Structure 1
């Protein structure tokens, strides 16, 4: 019997192979399920627009220059209002004017963009505009003359990310934002092309957010595997699902053991995109623990356990990143490996003190059943190294509370002994504002030694013990570990993220893969 079951996603059609249009076509099939807003990049006069946004860089001595098409009386009125507010174009400044006489928009927002506008800042600006638009908005004009097509695309991308809604469980969901944004820049065609490149990334984040938000009772391993297969079906991605029987047959006892107490046994999801010839893939391995009670080391905090559907956020980030890279047709071979488990308690559950045997033959003493993420990642990393022959591995997980204590929720903690991987990750974090902070792997000698087995699954310091444990399974393959505990969930809407699962890691991993690939 073959160990592989699954689907080969729909192959690119001739239209997809034609060039620029491919990312739009690939992302288009499901993009509209999430976002009803439309972005237009042709310079077209819009009568009676609901809002006109006028972007202004930080000013020197010259002062603000308003379009000459606006009549003189209107320009004087606007300048007087800006002077009164002390507006000088600093980032974050905004002045609103309503019902200007003879003006072609109902509202005018004059928005400062600062001395420079990075990609992340442009995305945040777009998200901020989206957050302010009312439910009745139908048309928006953004006057963006003098801004690059990449900056305009990033602003539109930020609006898309903020407008995501997870309303599956609302009996009467509020209407989603549904308006047209007309971007008036210097080169509409170039801005449109740049925007199309952001859509697969946004789509990957939307799918990741869906996975994170899905409650544990509905988002069990098989359900997530099927959701992932459906999500990638319009991409040039090969999706393979290994069933619980196959996981067990392949010897992945660490992964299998975490779901031993649940009727929903462990699966392994593998998604592969080949855009870089015959080169060995870069592998992304993401923790997909679909719900974590802690097992017999039960989580006793109600506020903690109620959010444990977010424990699959690392796996969601891996899937979203592979989707983004495939949708952009990046020149890289990348494989996403997502071990999926369901950590519950029953008469068949793994007990504290039990010994599990991982795919590489390592015997693991399970000192704490709530340190389950590293168990499933161990077999995921082994699979990436042994079965996929990955040239480098990055794993990502909501792994340890110790990480939150060390660096909080504004940074992920990263561990690696490979400088090129670390530098690429730090640069990727700066670009996407999904920031990382390196923590040491050593010396910490012996922190996962076990008197009973080869290794144990806990140690102190906690974040380092988790990283050391995972490093054991990467062996000599270049490897980096991302502990994103505390980063996966937004308690309230903020910036590009609405409340709930935020898709953290999709942008970071996408950028990291492209940087590592370009440096090889």
Structure 2
């Protein structure tokens, strides 16, 4: 878990600004006003900071603007970084301001002075989130990130306020690590092992192996993985922080550790990106970690179906008919529409075993959602306005793009099969919607449900405000906030 050292604005601590050898981060408003620490820095560098700020204010200093003074005279610091945060700043703006400072610091130690700045905890969370890097497989030892020390008017209060935010950052990092990991390392077994390790945090973790999945009737899930040497698994993670007997929220994740498309083989170009096809399961894992670390007062169960979709002599074929755990039969017309086959069995199992108060599934499910929404928003499909609107509100508060998409009988009719209860694809038109319609067939009456198609947001080719290129950890913050808003008590 990311740790934070907070110190107060005492005279002794203020003096440390003189000798700090890393970078110093300061927060100012759009008028360029300096607090105690800023005034101390300005005196040390003989007014250079104030002169630079005055010039920026005259030019029009806006929220999120930053400036850097490298190797300031009179200080040991390698640089002073200043970012503007207005008096009425939102949580989002505060997090982005912190991310600016986190990105600038590189591997240097950061002494971040927040004083009594509103939203100071979110400034710290932003600095931590943007400081992420994935260097596990580089032969040249990567420089370790430096420490973050925060100066505040009330250091104990800041530590208390920041602890749950850092827990969410830690869960986000787990998701990013899983999504960034190559498939020869993150096999189904390795994935399950990493989730089992979270039992040390208080999660109850179970790993269901193929023999048990066969007994349960999870034939659509097993069909996807039958062409691979890696065994298919389902991992169940329970966090029981709420009242005994309260029905849990169920989070279900698609965990295809690598997706070749199977017999319906994908084109070679870009197939290397299919290491991220377990992004839904990665997000579920990250949320469960965050909830455990911050001791959430809610009952939540996370279930992930872990498979590898490979072509071989034992792989499923286009035209095969397979029976689901629910008992419905599925005509598999395209083996590359495999995620829904994994999810439908795990969703049914989640409802049969846990009778959840609500269910949310996450999957890098369709390329069609990227055509529709690009990389700015995940697709949101739901049968329940209350749960859906609560999620959209949480996603908006966390600046994690999400857009509700339609469902309807006409789309469902596109899944009719002449030889089975349904097909696993509905054709090219409305591909993300027919995929959601397929999943809705496995939602029991009366169960509030959301399907999140995260194919466009789980991993990106360019950096964002809070993450470098690669895995984003999208959804961990939004789902954690949804749990806090809607399911926690006390």
**TM-score, normalisation: structure 2:** 0.91
Tell me the residue number matched to 2:121. 153
Q: Paired residue for 1:426, among 387, 392, 395?
A: 392
Tell me the residue number matched to 1:491. 461
Tell me the residue number matched to 2:55. 84
For 2:406 and 2:290, locate their aligned partners in 1 and report how far apart those are by CA, in whole Å: 31
Name structure 1 gaps, 5 residues minimum.
1-30
- Alignment deviations for residues 367-410 of structure 1 (CA, whole Å, 9 cap, x no partner): 11000000000001101111111121000100111111111111
Using a 3 Å threshold, how does the CA distance of structure 1 residues 354 and 71 change in structure 2: closer, same or farther? closer
Tell me the residue number matched to 1:202. 169
Tell me the residue number matched to 1:53. 25
Using a 3 Å threshold, how does the CA distance of structure 1 residues 294 and 134 change in structure 2: closer, same or farther? closer
Tell me the residue number matched to 1:480. 450
Using a 3 Å threshold, how does the CA distance of structure 1 residues 99 and 498 change in structure 2: closer, same or farther? closer
Using a 3 Å threshold, how does the CA distance of structure 1 residues 307 and 51 change in structure 2: closer, same or farther? same
- Is the contact made by 1:314 and 1:505 (CA closer than 8 Å) also made in structure 2? no
How far the C-alpha of 1:265 sits from its partner, in A, is 2.6
Give the length in aligned residue pairs: 476
1:114 maps onto 2:114 in alignment: no
For 2:7 and 2:343, locate their aligned partners in 1 and report how far apart those are by CA, in whole Å: 44
Specify the SS of the correspondent of 1:110: strand
Q: Paired residue for 1:399, among 365, 371, 376?
A: 365
How far the C-alpha of 1:89 sits from its partner, in A, is 4.2
Tell me the residue number matched to 2:334. 368
Specify the SS of the correspondent of 2:206: strand
Using a 3 Å threshold, how does the CA distance of structure 1 residues 228 and 65 change in structure 2: closer, same or farther? closer
For 1:97 and 1:218, locate their aligned partners in 2 and report how far apart those are by CA, in whole Å: 42
How far the C-alpha of 1:103 sits from its partner, in A, is 5.2
How far the C-alpha of 1:366 sits from its partner, in A, is 0.5
1:263 maps onto 2:226 in alignment: no
1:225 maps onto 2:195 in alignment: no
- Alignment deviations for residues 39-82 of structure 1 (CA, whole Å, 9 cap, x no partner): 323331213223332211223xxx63564556779675433322
How far the C-alpha of 1:297 sits from its partner, in A, is 0.9
For 2:49 and 2:308, locate their aligned partners in 1 and report how far apart those are by CA, in whole Å: 59
1:451 maps onto 2:423 in alignment: no
Structure 1 residues 413-422 or 155-164, which shifts more?
155-164
Using a 3 Å threshold, how does the CA distance of structure 1 residues 222 and 142 change in structure 2: closer, same or farther? closer
Specify the SS of the correspondent of 1:144: strand
Specify the SS of the correspondent of 1:308: helix
Specify the SS of the correspondent of 1:473: coil
For 1:378 and 1:515, locate their aligned partners in 2 and report how far apart those are by CA, in whole Å: 27
How far the C-alpha of 1:124 sits from its partner, in A, is 2.1
Tell me the residue number matched to 1:235. 201
For 1:76 and 1:353, locate their aligned partners in 2 and report how far apart those are by CA, in whole Å: 76
**TM-score, normalisation: structure 1:** 0.86
For 1:197 and 1:448, locate their aligned partners in 2 and report how far apart those are by CA, in whole Å: 44
Using a 3 Å threshold, how does the CA distance of structure 1 residues 167 and 372 change in structure 2: closer, same or farther? same
Tell me the residue number matched to 2:102. 130
Using a 3 Å threshold, how does the CA distance of structure 1 residues 88 and 55 change in structure 2: closer, same or farther? farther
1:318 maps onto 2:288 in alignment: no
Using a 3 Å threshold, how does the CA distance of structure 1 residues 169 and 142 change in structure 2: closer, same or farther? closer
Specify the SS of the correspondent of 1:413: strand
Q: Paired residue for 2:138, among 161, 170, 175?
A: 170
For 1:76 and 1:271, locate their aligned partners in 2 and report how far apart those are by CA, in whole Å: 56
1:467 maps onto 2:436 in alignment: yes
Using a 3 Å threshold, how does the CA distance of structure 1 residues 73 and 499 change in structure 2: closer, same or farther? closer
Tell me the residue number matched to 2:273. 307
How far the C-alpha of 1:109 sits from its partner, in A, is 2.7
Tell me the residue number matched to 1:252. 218
- Is the contact made by 1:66 and 1:75 (CA closer than 8 Å) also made in structure 2? no
- Alignment deviations for residues 417-453 of structure 1 (CA, whole Å, 9 cap, x no partner): 2111111111111111112100100142411111110
- Is the contact made by 1:240 and 1:270 (CA closer than 8 Å) also made in structure 2? yes
- Is the contact made by 2:340 and 2:365 (CA closer than 8 Å) also made in structure 1? yes
Give the RMSD, CA atoms, in angstroms.
2.2
Using a 3 Å threshold, how does the CA distance of structure 1 residues 238 and 79 change in structure 2: closer, same or farther? same
For 2:284 and 2:391, locate their aligned partners in 1 and report how far apart those are by CA, in whole Å: 15
Using a 3 Å threshold, how does the CA distance of structure 1 residues 265 and 76 change in structure 2: closer, same or farther? closer
Specify the SS of the correspondent of 1:233: helix
- Alignment deviations for residues 82-136 of structure 1 (CA, whole Å, 9 cap, x no partner): 233335541122232345554575533332113532223222222221211243x
Structure 1 residues 378-387 or 190-199, which shifts more?
190-199
For 2:369 and 2:72, locate their aligned partners in 1 and report how far apart those are by CA, in whole Å: 52
Using a 3 Å threshold, how does the CA distance of structure 1 residues 333 and 70 change in structure 2: closer, same or farther? closer
- Is the contact made by 2:83 and 2:100 (CA closer than 8 Å) also made in structure 1? no
For 2:55 and 2:332, locate their aligned partners in 1 and report how far apart those are by CA, in whole Å: 66
- Is the contact made by 1:441 and 1:464 (CA closer than 8 Å) also made in structure 2? yes
For 2:211 and 2:168, locate their aligned partners in 1 and report how far apart those are by CA, in whole Å: 34
Name structure 2 gaps, 5 residues minimum.
none
